Chains A and B, each alone.
Chain A
Amino acid sequence: MEFNEIKLLLEKYEEGETSLTEEKQLKEYFTSEEVPKELEIYKNTFQFAKNSKNIQLERPVTVNRNFSKYWYAGIAASILLLLSFLFFDMNTSNNIKNSELGTIEDPEQAYLKTKETLKMIAEVFNDGREDLEYLDEFNKTKDKFIKEQ
Protein backbone atom coordinates (compact mmCIF):
# COMPACT_ATOMS: atom_id res chain seq x y z
CA MET A 1 0.00 0.00 0.00
CA GLU A 2 1.07 3.55 -0.70
CA PHE A 3 2.54 5.49 2.18
CA ASN A 4 0.23 8.43 1.57
CA GLU A 5 -2.79 6.19 1.39
CA ILE A 6 -1.90 4.71 4.77
CA LYS A 7 -1.43 8.15 6.27
CA LEU A 8 -4.86 9.22 5.06
CA LEU A 9 -6.43 6.08 6.42
CA LEU A 10 -4.72 6.61 9.77
CA GLU A 11 -6.15 10.10 9.98
CA LYS A 12 -9.61 8.75 9.33
CA TYR A 13 -8.92 5.95 11.80
CA GLU A 14 -8.10 8.35 14.59
CA GLU A 15 -11.35 10.22 14.02
CA GLY A 16 -13.29 6.98 14.22
CA GLU A 17 -14.42 7.37 10.62
CA THR A 18 -12.91 4.26 9.04
CA SER A 19 -15.02 1.31 7.98
CA LEU A 20 -14.30 -2.22 9.17
CA THR A 21 -12.72 -3.12 5.84
CA GLU A 22 -10.40 -0.15 6.01
CA GLU A 23 -9.45 -1.03 9.57
CA LYS A 24 -8.70 -4.57 8.49
CA GLN A 25 -6.44 -3.22 5.78
CA LEU A 26 -4.58 -1.16 8.34
CA LYS A 27 -4.27 -4.10 10.69
CA GLU A 28 -2.99 -6.25 7.85
CA TYR A 29 -0.46 -3.63 6.78
CA PHE A 30 0.90 -2.93 10.24
CA THR A 31 1.20 -6.52 11.37
CA SER A 32 2.78 -8.04 8.30
CA GLU A 33 5.01 -5.48 6.60
CA GLU A 34 8.03 -3.48 7.56
CA VAL A 35 6.73 -0.05 8.33
CA PRO A 36 8.54 3.30 7.98
CA LYS A 37 9.96 4.62 11.24
CA GLU A 38 7.49 7.46 11.11
CA LEU A 39 4.58 5.08 11.50
CA GLU A 40 6.17 2.66 13.93
CA ILE A 41 4.07 3.88 16.83
CA TYR A 42 0.99 2.34 15.29
CA LYS A 43 2.59 -1.01 14.74
CA ASN A 44 2.34 -2.13 18.33
CA THR A 45 -1.16 -0.82 18.77
CA PHE A 46 -2.44 -2.90 15.88
CA GLN A 47 -0.36 -5.84 17.04
CA PHE A 48 -1.87 -5.49 20.48
CA ALA A 49 -5.40 -5.49 19.08
CA LYS A 50 -4.62 -8.53 16.97
CA ASN A 51 -3.06 -10.43 19.87
CA SER A 52 -5.96 -9.57 22.14
CA LYS A 53 -8.29 -11.46 19.87
CA ASN A 54 -6.35 -14.66 20.38
CA ILE A 55 -7.07 -14.87 24.09
CA GLN A 56 -9.37 -17.75 24.86
CA LEU A 57 -11.37 -18.83 27.83
CA GLU A 58 -9.46 -21.75 29.31
CA ARG A 59 -11.89 -22.77 32.00
CA PRO A 60 -14.70 -25.00 30.70
CA VAL A 61 -18.19 -23.60 31.18
CA THR A 62 -21.08 -25.52 32.68
CA VAL A 63 -24.75 -24.78 32.88
CA ASN A 64 -25.91 -27.51 35.27
CA ARG A 65 -24.12 -26.23 38.33
CA ASN A 66 -27.43 -25.35 39.97
CA PHE A 67 -28.75 -28.81 39.41
CA SER A 68 -25.74 -30.58 40.89
CA LYS A 69 -25.76 -28.23 43.88
CA TYR A 70 -29.27 -29.33 44.80
CA TRP A 71 -28.37 -32.89 43.95
CA TYR A 72 -25.46 -32.89 46.41
CA ALA A 73 -27.57 -31.21 49.07
CA GLY A 74 -30.20 -33.93 48.62
CA ILE A 75 -27.67 -36.72 48.96
CA ALA A 76 -26.15 -35.11 52.05
CA ALA A 77 -29.57 -34.68 53.65
CA SER A 78 -30.58 -38.29 53.05
CA ILE A 79 -27.31 -39.61 54.46
CA LEU A 80 -27.81 -37.44 57.52
CA LEU A 81 -31.34 -38.73 57.93
CA LEU A 82 -30.18 -42.33 57.62
CA LEU A 83 -27.39 -41.80 60.12
CA SER A 84 -29.71 -40.16 62.60
CA PHE A 85 -32.10 -43.13 62.46
CA LEU A 86 -29.21 -45.51 62.97
CA PHE A 87 -27.86 -43.46 65.84
CA PHE A 88 -31.27 -43.16 67.46
CA ASP A 89 -31.84 -46.90 67.14
CA MET A 90 -28.48 -47.76 68.67
CA ASN A 91 -29.04 -45.32 71.50
CA THR A 92 -32.41 -46.73 72.51
CA SER A 93 -31.35 -50.37 72.37
CA ASN A 94 -28.38 -49.51 74.53
CA ASN A 95 -30.71 -47.90 77.02
CA ILE A 96 -32.74 -51.04 77.43
CA LYS A 97 -29.64 -53.09 77.97
CA ASN A 98 -28.25 -50.73 80.52
CA SER A 99 -31.41 -50.15 82.47
CA GLU A 100 -31.87 -52.53 85.38
CA LEU A 101 -34.04 -55.33 84.11
CA GLY A 102 -33.17 -58.11 86.42
CA THR A 103 -33.03 -57.22 90.11
CA ILE A 104 -35.17 -60.26 90.88
CA GLU A 105 -33.24 -63.46 90.39
CA ASP A 106 -36.00 -66.07 90.99
CA PRO A 107 -38.29 -66.50 87.93
CA GLU A 108 -41.25 -67.49 90.09
CA GLN A 109 -40.96 -64.34 92.15
CA ALA A 110 -40.54 -62.25 89.01
CA TYR A 111 -43.73 -63.76 87.61
CA LEU A 112 -45.65 -62.91 90.77
CA LYS A 113 -44.30 -59.41 90.85
CA THR A 114 -45.27 -58.84 87.24
CA LYS A 115 -48.73 -60.24 87.86
CA GLU A 116 -49.17 -57.94 90.83
CA THR A 117 -48.12 -54.94 88.80
CA LEU A 118 -50.47 -55.80 85.92
CA LYS A 119 -53.31 -56.31 88.39
CA MET A 120 -52.68 -52.89 89.85
CA ILE A 121 -52.83 -51.37 86.38
CA ALA A 122 -56.08 -53.23 85.67
CA GLU A 123 -57.60 -51.91 88.87
CA VAL A 124 -56.75 -48.38 87.92
CA PHE A 125 -58.32 -48.94 84.51
CA ASN A 126 -61.49 -50.31 86.05
CA ASP A 127 -61.73 -47.33 88.37
CA GLY A 128 -61.85 -45.20 85.29
CA ARG A 129 -64.43 -47.43 83.64
CA GLU A 130 -66.84 -47.19 86.58
CA ASP A 131 -67.24 -43.53 85.86
CA LEU A 132 -68.22 -44.38 82.30
CA GLU A 133 -71.21 -46.47 83.45
CA TYR A 134 -73.30 -43.34 83.62
CA LEU A 135 -73.15 -43.31 79.87
CA ASP A 136 -75.52 -46.29 79.81
CA GLU A 137 -78.27 -43.96 80.94
CA PHE A 138 -77.80 -42.03 77.77
CA ASN A 139 -78.28 -45.15 75.70
CA LYS A 140 -81.46 -46.09 77.55
CA THR A 141 -83.02 -42.72 76.84
CA LYS A 142 -81.81 -42.74 73.28
CA ASP A 143 -83.31 -46.17 72.61
CA LYS A 144 -86.73 -44.85 73.52
CA PHE A 145 -86.65 -42.58 70.49
CA ILE A 146 -84.45 -44.29 68.02
CA LYS A 147 -85.25 -47.85 67.24
CA GLU A 148 -82.39 -49.95 66.08
CA GLN A 149 -83.05 -52.20 63.21
Chain B
Amino acid sequence: MNHHTFLRLIDPVKDKMYRLALRLLISKEAAEDATQEVILKIWNRKNKVKDYANIEAFMISVTKNYCLDQLKSKRNNNLRITHTNYDNNELGVDRRLELKDELVQIQRIVERLPDQQKIIFQLRDVEEYEFIEIAEITKMNEPAIRVALSRARKKIKEELLKTHNYGI
Protein backbone atom coordinates (compact mmCIF):
# COMPACT_ATOMS: atom_id res chain seq x y z
CA MET B 1 0.00 0.00 0.00
CA ASN B 2 1.56 3.31 -0.97
CA HIS B 3 0.75 6.48 0.89
CA HIS B 4 -1.72 7.78 -1.71
CA THR B 5 -3.88 4.70 -1.30
CA PHE B 6 -3.54 4.98 2.43
CA LEU B 7 -4.55 8.64 2.52
CA ARG B 8 -7.59 7.85 0.38
CA LEU B 9 -8.51 5.11 2.82
CA ILE B 10 -8.13 7.42 5.78
CA ASP B 11 -9.88 10.40 4.20
CA PRO B 12 -13.52 9.54 5.03
CA VAL B 13 -12.56 8.60 8.60
CA LYS B 14 -10.13 11.32 9.58
CA ASP B 15 -12.81 13.88 10.48
CA LYS B 16 -14.55 11.33 12.69
CA MET B 17 -11.25 10.55 14.38
CA TYR B 18 -10.63 14.25 14.91
CA ARG B 19 -14.10 14.85 16.34
CA LEU B 20 -13.68 12.00 18.83
CA ALA B 21 -10.24 13.31 19.82
CA LEU B 22 -11.72 16.78 20.22
CA ARG B 23 -14.53 15.44 22.39
CA LEU B 24 -12.06 13.74 24.69
CA LEU B 25 -9.12 16.13 24.71
CA ILE B 26 -11.20 19.34 24.36
CA SER B 27 -8.23 21.38 23.11
CA LYS B 28 -8.25 21.81 19.33
CA GLU B 29 -4.49 21.76 19.17
CA ALA B 30 -4.22 18.52 21.17
CA ALA B 31 -6.93 16.87 19.07
CA GLU B 32 -5.14 17.77 15.83
CA ASP B 33 -1.87 16.39 17.17
CA ALA B 34 -3.60 13.23 18.35
CA THR B 35 -5.26 12.64 14.97
CA GLN B 36 -1.95 13.08 13.14
CA GLU B 37 -0.19 10.81 15.61
CA VAL B 38 -2.81 8.06 15.30
CA ILE B 39 -2.75 8.22 11.50
CA LEU B 40 1.04 7.80 11.59
CA LYS B 41 0.64 4.88 13.99
CA ILE B 42 -1.78 3.16 11.63
CA TRP B 43 0.48 3.95 8.67
CA ASN B 44 3.40 2.24 10.38
CA ARG B 45 1.26 -0.84 10.89
CA LYS B 46 -0.34 -0.63 7.45
CA ASN B 47 0.39 -4.23 6.59
CA LYS B 48 -1.76 -5.39 9.48
CA VAL B 49 -4.58 -2.97 8.66
CA LYS B 50 -5.74 -5.14 5.78
CA ASP B 51 -6.50 -7.95 8.22
CA TYR B 52 -9.21 -5.97 9.98
CA ALA B 53 -12.71 -6.56 8.65
CA ASN B 54 -13.95 -3.13 9.62
CA ILE B 55 -11.10 -0.71 9.06
CA GLU B 56 -13.11 2.33 10.11
CA ALA B 57 -13.98 0.80 13.48
CA PHE B 58 -10.34 -0.13 13.96
CA MET B 59 -9.18 3.42 13.25
CA ILE B 60 -11.72 4.96 15.61
CA SER B 61 -10.77 2.43 18.25
CA VAL B 62 -7.07 3.31 18.00
CA THR B 63 -7.98 7.00 18.27
CA LYS B 64 -10.05 6.32 21.38
CA ASN B 65 -7.27 4.38 23.07
CA TYR B 66 -4.66 6.96 22.16
CA CYS B 67 -6.72 9.82 23.60
CA LEU B 68 -7.46 7.92 26.80
CA ASP B 69 -3.72 7.29 27.21
CA GLN B 70 -3.04 10.97 26.66
CA LEU B 71 -5.59 11.89 29.31
CA LYS B 72 -4.16 9.38 31.74
CA SER B 73 -0.63 10.73 31.46
CA LYS B 74 -1.94 14.29 31.66
CA ARG B 75 -3.93 13.54 34.79
CA ASN B 76 -0.87 12.02 36.41
CA ASN B 77 1.14 15.13 35.67
CA ASN B 78 -0.63 18.42 35.86
CA LEU B 79 -4.35 18.26 35.33
CA ARG B 80 -5.02 19.10 38.98
CA ILE B 81 -5.14 22.79 38.14
CA THR B 82 -7.83 22.46 35.50
CA HIS B 83 -9.80 20.19 37.77
CA THR B 84 -10.03 22.76 40.52
CA ASN B 85 -11.31 25.18 37.93
CA TYR B 86 -14.11 22.82 37.10
CA ASP B 87 -15.01 22.27 40.73
CA ASN B 88 -15.53 25.97 41.21
CA ASN B 89 -19.28 26.37 41.35
CA GLU B 90 -19.39 30.13 41.50
CA LEU B 91 -19.49 31.32 37.96
CA GLY B 92 -17.73 34.49 36.98
CA VAL B 93 -19.53 37.21 35.04
CA ASP B 94 -17.87 36.26 31.77
CA ARG B 95 -18.66 32.64 32.33
CA ARG B 96 -22.31 33.47 32.94
CA LEU B 97 -22.51 35.53 29.77
CA GLU B 98 -20.97 32.68 27.87
CA LEU B 99 -23.54 30.28 29.22
CA LYS B 100 -26.25 32.29 27.57
CA ASP B 101 -25.29 30.54 24.43
CA GLU B 102 -27.09 27.27 24.92
CA LEU B 103 -24.98 25.23 22.58
CA VAL B 104 -21.88 26.27 24.47
CA GLN B 105 -23.63 25.22 27.61
CA ILE B 106 -24.38 21.76 26.26
CA GLN B 107 -20.75 21.57 25.23
CA ARG B 108 -19.75 22.22 28.85
CA ILE B 109 -22.17 19.59 30.12
CA VAL B 110 -20.79 17.00 27.72
CA GLU B 111 -17.25 17.95 28.77
CA ARG B 112 -18.10 17.05 32.34
CA LEU B 113 -19.45 13.59 31.48
CA PRO B 114 -17.27 10.58 32.34
CA ASP B 115 -14.95 9.62 29.46
CA GLN B 116 -16.84 6.45 28.65
CA GLN B 117 -20.16 8.28 28.33
CA LYS B 118 -18.50 10.99 26.27
CA ILE B 119 -17.20 8.40 23.83
CA ILE B 120 -20.54 6.66 23.51
CA PHE B 121 -22.48 9.91 23.16
CA GLN B 122 -20.06 10.99 20.45
CA LEU B 123 -20.24 7.71 18.55
CA ARG B 124 -24.01 7.32 18.73
CA ASP B 125 -25.58 10.76 18.83
CA VAL B 126 -23.03 12.58 16.70
CA GLU B 127 -21.51 9.99 14.37
CA GLU B 128 -24.63 7.79 14.26
CA TYR B 129 -22.93 4.43 14.53
CA GLU B 130 -24.89 1.21 15.01
CA PHE B 131 -24.57 -0.49 18.40
CA ILE B 132 -22.62 -3.38 16.85
CA GLU B 133 -20.04 -0.93 15.55
CA ILE B 134 -19.81 0.86 18.88
CA ALA B 135 -19.34 -2.52 20.55
CA GLU B 136 -16.45 -3.23 18.20
CA ILE B 137 -14.84 0.14 18.89
CA THR B 138 -15.26 0.19 22.65
CA LYS B 139 -15.04 -3.56 23.33
CA MET B 140 -18.14 -3.23 25.50
CA ASN B 141 -21.28 -5.32 25.18
CA GLU B 142 -24.48 -3.86 23.81
CA PRO B 143 -26.53 -3.63 27.03
CA ALA B 144 -23.65 -1.82 28.75
CA ILE B 145 -23.47 0.63 25.86
CA ARG B 146 -27.21 1.29 26.07
CA VAL B 147 -26.96 1.94 29.79
CA ALA B 148 -24.05 4.37 29.37
CA LEU B 149 -25.84 6.13 26.53
CA SER B 150 -29.05 6.44 28.53
CA ARG B 151 -27.10 7.90 31.46
CA ALA B 152 -25.39 10.43 29.22
CA ARG B 153 -28.66 11.53 27.61
CA LYS B 154 -30.45 11.82 30.93
CA LYS B 155 -27.54 13.72 32.48
CA ILE B 156 -27.54 16.29 29.68
CA LYS B 157 -31.26 16.87 30.06
CA GLU B 158 -31.00 17.03 33.84
CA GLU B 159 -28.21 19.61 33.72
CA LEU B 160 -30.12 21.70 31.21
CA LEU B 161 -33.20 21.63 33.44
CA LYS B 162 -31.12 22.79 36.39
CA THR B 163 -30.06 26.03 34.73
CA HIS B 164 -33.23 26.83 32.81
CA ASN B 165 -36.80 27.14 33.74
CA TYR B 166 -38.33 25.09 31.07
CA GLY B 167 -42.02 24.43 31.40
CA ILE B 168 -41.80 20.69 31.84
A92 contacts the other chain (CB 8 A): no
- B167: which of A37, A44, A49 is its contact (CB, 8 Å)? A37
Contact A61 B36 (CB under 8 A): yes
**CB-CB under 8 A for A48 and B107, given A23-B125, A24-B128, A59-B36:** yes
Q: Please report the number of residue pairs spanning A and B whose Cβ atoms sit closer than 8 angstroms.
A: 90
User: Which residues of A lie under 8 Å from residue B156 when comparing CB positions?
Assistant: 45
Chain B: interface size category: 35 or more
Interface of B, helix, strand, loop or mixed by DSSP: helix
Chain A 21-42 against B: per-residue CB contact (8 Å), 1 yes, 0 no?
A: 0011000000000000110111
Give CA–CA (A65, B17) in the complex, Å. Answer: 19
Contact B153 A55 (CB under 8 A): no
Residues of A in contact (CB 8 Å), total: 32
B7 contacts the other chain (CB 8 A): yes
Contact B166 A40 (CB under 8 A): yes
Chain B 21-37 against A: per-residue CB contact (8 Å), 1 yes, 0 no?
A: 01100000000100110
**Interface residues in chain A, defined as those with a beta carbon under 8 Å from any beta carbon in chain B:** 13-17, 20, 23-24, 37-38, 40-42, 44-45, 47-49, 51-53, 55-59, 61-66
8 A-B pairs besides A41-B166, A63-B3 with CB distance below 8 A are: A16-B146, A16-B149, A20-B128, A53-B19, A57-B14, A57-B35, A59-B35, A63-B7
